[in-house]
Chain A
């Protein structure tokens, strides 16, 4: 017997469309470009091997985002990477390579948040997805998204006041 075909999707096109966004998303969670690359690579590997079927491009995008976020959560758990840091500790960060200073500031701010708040803050405020879209991507209710955004804003404002 010879296996003649393992079902696969066209990964190249999907990579070109979504890799930057997924990499930024992973970077905002893992705070390290090497780990972010590992996470995104795993997502594309899963995409290639599992060949999930999608209703449309939005469904595909949501799957990729959700899988990336879940992979980041897994990596944070398995590697026992801490979920959040105080702003004092953040100044010690030097994991970002080839990222402009303003971008570094964003990641530093995000890293002070618990990981689930970080996810919705990144998707909504930085990637520009609506509350409804974030809810669909993460398979949570819109009110849960709104609550996490509110809590994320409050935490960030509180932390920034502390620093001042």
Chain B
């Protein structure tokens, strides 16, 4: 299909040094830096949607196990899944290939040190004040219907689960202590 000269010319193309610096510098920073402006706009909209849903979610039960407390804008997450968003319909374009971008602000209350791991998305913008640590969990929800974020401290751990409920057509979030 392509002649040898063309194939060799293609194969000789190497990534610019600038890219190397950008990628390896990104590794040192916990924040996302290379996203396009359009993604940022969508993220802002998603954040707004998430905040609206959080206000609606106030009033759900508190977590019975007090070793960890995970909350979103002051609302404690519990084993009972609560809706993260009711705006799936507004992401109808997402169903036709675009990613659904979820931005979940979490506040973790715990004394001591913890190990936070997510099976998808990114954890960023974490800050700590008066025993409370704020993180933002960003998810490009493009294929999976379940995402988990695990917080471990010594023998204690808790898992924040984000599950897409097909019946209700919305994302639900819960937190289970172990």
Contacts and interface: CB of A to CB of B under 8 A. Distances in A.
Given A1-B108, A77-B98, A102-B8, A20 B133 contact: no
A39 B61 CA distance: 42
B120 A50 contact: yes
Given A4-B113, A7-B117, A125-B2, A38 B34 contact: yes
A27 interface: yes
Interface residues of B, number: 59
A163 interface: no
B131 A41 contact: no
A28 to B, nearest CB: 8
A72 interface: no
A102 B9 contact: yes
A93 interface: no
A135 B26 CA distance: 31
Contact of B23 (A8, A44, A101, A121): A44
A3 B9 CA distance: 47
Contacts, number: 148
Interface of A: 1-8, 11-12, 15, 19-20, 22-24, 27, 33, 37-38, 40-42, 44-46, 48-51, 70, 73-75, 77-79, 98-103, 105-106, 109, 121, 125-126, 153, 156
Counting chain B CB atoms within 10 Å of each CB, which of A6, A12, A24, A77 scores highest?
A: A6
B7 interface: yes
Contact of A1 (B1, B5, B111): B111
- A-B pairs, 8 with minimum CB distance: A102-B9, A49-B122, A103-B9, A23-B15, A41-B34, A1-B110, A19-B15, A78-B38
B95 to A, nearest CB: 13
Interface string B142-164: 10000000000100000000000
A15 B24 contact: yes
B132 A1 contact: yes
B115 interface: yes
Contacts of A6: 30, 116-117, 123
11 contacts: A3-B113, A4-B114, A15-B24, A24-B13, A38-B34, A45-B122, A50-B118, A79-B36, A102-B5, A102-B9, A103-B6
Contacts of A15: 20, 23-24
B7 A42 contact: no
A7 B99 CA distance: 24
A1 B114 contact: yes
A125 B11 CA distance: 11
B80 to A, nearest CB: 24
Contact of A2 (B10, B20, B128): B128
Nearest to B93: A77
